[in-house]
Every structure is written in C-alpha cells, then in structure tokens.
Amino acid sequence: MRILLKPDVARSMGVVLLKPGSELLSMFRHGRVLIEPEPGSMAHLPSGRVPDARQPLSQDKSLEAFFTDERVIAAAGGLPGLEFWLEHNVHACQYQHSEYHHKELVTMRHPPGSMLLCWHCENQLREQTTRQLSELARRNVIDWVIDTVRIRLRYSKERELALAELCWWAVCAGIGDAITEEMAARSLLLPVEPFLSVYKESDIVPSVPATSILQREMALVKPIDMPPAEEPPKVLTLAADPESPESFMLRPKRRRWVCKPYTDWVKTQPCSGCQRPADDPHHIIGHGMGGTATKAHDLFVIPLCRECHDELHADVSVFEQKHGTQLELLFRFLDKALGIGVIVKA
C-alpha cells in the first residue's frame, strides 16, 4: 500500500508533522512505515492512499476459464501459494454476511480456490457449497494470479497488466496450452472475422488458429529468467524415531531440541500479543516448561515484540489475562506453521 501525505513542514526547525487521519492511522499499527520525499509524478495527487492500478483483466468474464484452469493455478504457486497471499493481503473476514466475526482468521478452501474467514464464519461455512462462496473463491484466484504475474514480470502495483503480457507469462511458465483461442487472437491484434448466415464458397478461406501463431512466435524467443513464485517457507522438517536409544533407558538424560532456522523464522512473524512486528522467539515458561538456567524446546516458541516479551516476563498472569494463555497462543501459532507449510513431514 502506498500513502501520499501532504505534510505541514516547519522548515525553520526542520520538523515534519504527518497527519494521516483516522482513516489511515491503522496503517501505522501493522509494521514499519517508509517515509520519503514526494516524487514529482505524484505532485498533482491529493493526500490519501495512492490506489493500485486498475486491472481490467480481472473483470473480463471471457478470461475466467483461463484464470481458474488447474495448470494456471499450479504455475502461480498452487493453493498453498494462494493461501499465503491471502494471509498477507487480506486483513479481515471475507464473508460479510455475518453479524459476528471472531478476531482470529483462517483460510478455507472452496472450489476453485480458497478464502480468508474468521473462525466463526469458517465453522458455519465449512461444509457448504454455494454460488456466493464459489464466486468469492473465484475472485480470490483471479486477483492472486494477476498479482503473481505482475510480480513475476517485475512490475509495480501501479502497472496495469495487458493481455499480451499475461499470455507471455503463460508461455514462459510452460502452460501455453492453457491460452484460449480468443486470448491468443486478442493479444496478437488479429481482426475479428464476422460470422455470416450465408457464405459463398469462394469466400471460405481456412484460417490458422491464433494459438498456433502465438506458440510459433514464442518458440523463437528465449524465455526470460523470471523470479520464482513466492511460496510459504519450509524451514523445519520433522521425523519420528520410535526406537531412539534414550527410549530404552529407565532414567534417560533429556536433550533440549534446538533449531535455529525455525526460531529465526518465528522472529519474522507478527507478535502473538499485539500483532506488531516481532523481535524475539519467546520460549514458553511455566506449565512444566523451562526453569532455572533452562529453556523449553525451540519448537515451543511464539513470536513476541520486545514490549510484549518484557510484559510477559514481568507478570505472566497479567499478560495472559490480556492476550490469552501461552498454551493457547502456542497452539494457534503451531497450527499456522503447519498450515502454511513451515513445519512439514520428513
């Protein structure tokens, strides 16, 4: 999201006062905000959110079959990639026909894609299949594919994606067969031939399919090296060893499980308390875990910002009354890590 603010500047004191207003103030609670001089190209714009480029392709009904094609979805990153995109781009329950919404958000798969719902709505809609839910899932797939193509082609959010660029991405991604005849004809700017009720035999001239023209021309061009799709990180692989040596001992010496790649990833997630950017992986204390000069296993951690971390260690009961118990927060965080593929089976 890009915000343009017209600051009141006290030049003599070198002070810049930003007045985002109540509408944009919530943006400052979700993480760091970059402030830079106003570019000349935006000098004519009023204060407020700079809208992303309109994407007419997302409203084109004739392209829905392409966007929802299984080959296209797989090339864009698959359903896990869609869910990862939803969690980072949608910040509220997408089902707006409920009077109550839980604060916790989860993804729910529904053909042809997925959607982001609160726990309450997900419980209500889990087994339902309706046209309304199908349309919501389809809209998410289309917006996600367009955003993925834009990122792969290294375009900013201000760039309006053209049909020819969408076809170029499909050919480079190895799914040129998913391009429909109508898409190929439009991207090649071929004239539309009218269908007449009566033809003379001399007027009937066989035409070459537009898809064959497109594939032949693309075969002569070396595909560009596009950056890989953004996928959920896979940083932890687990395996079970039911016959470990210690399991045969009467009083085995316990070993603390350590995994730095996992705790490093935990630090990159939103704080489990206030949802601001986290600073530390907090190891669960109490509940039989930790102790003097010891820590819980690295699997039993939740992300906390420095303020919430200090608050928890200062008074555990006050923190848990405010944000929920550590075990509740741990369960939710482990559920998220498993759901987005960070923790996977060996």
Q: What is the pLDDT of residues 234-291, one digit of tens each?
A: 777 878 887 888 788 888 877 888 888 899 899 988 899 988 888 889 999 887 776 5
* Residue 200: inside a domain: no
* Residue 199: inside a domain: no
* Residue 322: inside a domain: yes
290 in the same domain as 220: no
* Residue 138: inside a domain: yes
Mean pLDDT in the chain? 80
pLDDT band at 98 (very low <50, low <70, confident <90, very high): confident
267 in the same domain as 140: no
- What phi and psi, each to the nearest 5 degrees, are found at residue 69? -65, 135
Query: Is residue 230 over pLDDT 60?
Result: no
Query: Is residue 342 over pLDDT 70?
Result: yes
58 in the same domain as 37: no
* Residue 198: inside a domain: no
DSSP three-state, residue 343 = strand
9 in the same domain as 61: no
pTM for the full predicted model: 0.53
Closest CA to 277 of 267, 288, 286, 289: 267
pLDDT in tens, 184-229: 888 877 776 666 666 666 655 556 566 666 666 555 555 545 455 4
- What phi and psi, each to the nearest 5 degrees, are found at residue 2? -115, 135
223 in the same domain as 86: yes
305 in the same domain as 213: no
219 in the same domain as 92: yes
Q: Which residue has the tokens 């864009």?
A: 76
Give how many domains the chain has, as a whole number.
Answer: 3
The answer to which of 47-51, 169-173, 264-268, 299-303 has the lowest mean pLDDT is 47-51
Residue 330: the pLDDT is 92
* Residue 119: inside a domain: yes
* Residue 201: inside a domain: no
Residue 50: the pLDDT is 61
The boundaries of the domain holding residue 22 are 2-50
- Amino acid identity at 173: A
Q: 10 Å Cβ neighbour count for 222?
A: 6
Percent helix / strand / coil, the chain, rounded to 5:
40, 15, 45
Question: How far is Cα 126 from Cα 19, in angstroms, rounded to an integer?
Answer: 43
